[in-house]
Structure 1
Amino acid sequence: MSDSDLLKLYSKQILALAAEIPHLGELDSPDATAKSRSPLCGSTVTVSLCTENGKITHFAQNVKACALGQASAALLGKVVIGLDHDTILRGRDALKDMLTQNTPPPSAPFDGYEVLLPAREFKNRHASILLPFTATLAALDKLGNG
């Protein structure tokens, strides 16, 4: 990977998102917790959440990932409260398709993922970008919200 490729991939917008991840930490009494890991790069995201009527009411995340995974966690963290399993699944699928099938970025409520469009070319980073969704869905699945 050339220096110009790295600069393109780790744009100022991505680095700014990575520096301001919402809901960092852990919940004191979560309904469910799940950890997802990318075997390729070793990135991990652990999510704790509470739900009511199938919708997320409280959310915390512990993100140990590259700037791309951190940016994805920041974008999801901004909108996750109030979402249900099906909405998050649609967002994850749209993000995966954006990365692998050259489709448009996910639509509302998942605004902002266009910043990760340059990552399409870097397949080894896709799993890290998807980790926040994977961990959130795994936690919801533990509650039977899937």
Structure 2
Amino acid sequence: MSFNNLDQLYRQVIMDHYKKPRNKGKIEDGALTVDMNNPTCGDQIHLTMNVEDGIVTDAKFEGEGCSISMASASMMTQAIKGKDIDTAIKLSKIFSDMMQGNEYPDDLDLGDIEALQGVSKFPARIKCATLAWKAMEKGLKEEK
């Protein structure tokens, strides 16, 4: 697949998550809650997660922001469901490395998250992509 076709595919994946976000909403009743914002561009996230026996059993988000920020939140909530806290935090660190343009393990299938690789070429947008991930990491570290 040529670079242009791959770039177009990635844009389509991002727009799909932006227009039809997965796990949009809020978990009530005792959920772990984290609110964060990106003052640079105005992105805001309200992340709620259920953690039972060290496993993220559910994750939802509400917020406002650009397509990259909201698509990333959608992808992140999908990625962490069913993962233990340490694995979710490790995934956040891998994502952060990817946003810095660093390689990640070849045997790791990031699924739709790979569509955000191109953001690393736009330093001003990296904070948009990492906002939800930082919120998740903060919440899970506090939970731990």
- Indicate the TM-score class for this superposition, using the shorter chain for normalisation: 0.7 to 0.9
* Native 8 Å contact 2:47 2:60 kept in 1: yes
- Compared with structure 1, are the counterparts of its residues 66 and 88 closer, same or farther at alpha carbon in structure 2 (3 Å cutoff)? same
Return the alpha-carbon distance in structure 2 between the equivalents of residues 13 and 66 of structure 1. 15
Amino acid at match of 2:48: S
Cα-Cα RMSD: 2.3
Equivalence for 1:66: 66
- Contact residue 105 and residue 113 of structure 1 kept, 8 A: no
Residue 137 of structure 2 aligns to a residue whose secondary structure is helix
Structure 1 gap ranges (5+): 1-6
2: CA distance between counterparts of 1:19 and 1:104?
28
Structure 1 position 139 matched with structure 2 position 124: no
Contact in 1 for aligned 2:13/2:112 (Cα 8 Å): no
3-state SS of 1:125 partner: helix
Q: 1:103 to 1:12 in 2, by over 3 A?
A: same
Q: TM-score, normalised by structure 1?
A: 0.80
CA distance in 1, matches of 2:116, 2:105: 9
TM-score (norm 2): 0.81
Aligned length: 136
Identity of aligned residues (%): 21
**Aligned twin of 2:80:** 80
**Which residue number in structure 2 is paired with residue 111 of structure 1?**
111
